[in-house]
Amino acid sequence: MHYSEEQIAELNVLIYYSLNTNCQGIKIHSTADPEKIAAVQRLFDKGLVTQKDGGYLTDLGREAAEHAQALMLMLEPHEHNVSSQFKLAHQGLQLS
């Protein structure tokens, strides 16, 4: 099973959201790439964002954005990524 192009577009929207605050949303303008416009509409239809052009994350949307952003970090192609730190922590080591 693979991610569909639609799912990838939705993940790409979710990674734009800041997880540092619930008071910051996004707006996808009508002049944006049609793929982004459609992706945010699907996220709205699924109850992950509050507006059909973005808005704020719902509770479910915040959880999805947390997972999407965590996956991005885990897949980063460098030595000191989150998964490397996780492995080292379980071995009793720490990066400095």
Tell me the average pLDDT of the chain.
87
Whole-Å CA distances, 23 to 20, 49, 54, 79: 9, 13, 13, 33
Query: In this predicted model, what pLDDT tens digit does every residue of 44-86 receive, in sequence order?
Result: 999 999 999 999 999 999 999 999 999 999 998 876 655 555 5
pLDDT band, residue 95 (cuts 50/70/90): very low
pTM above 0.85, yes or no: no
pLDDT band, residue 25 (cuts 50/70/90): very high
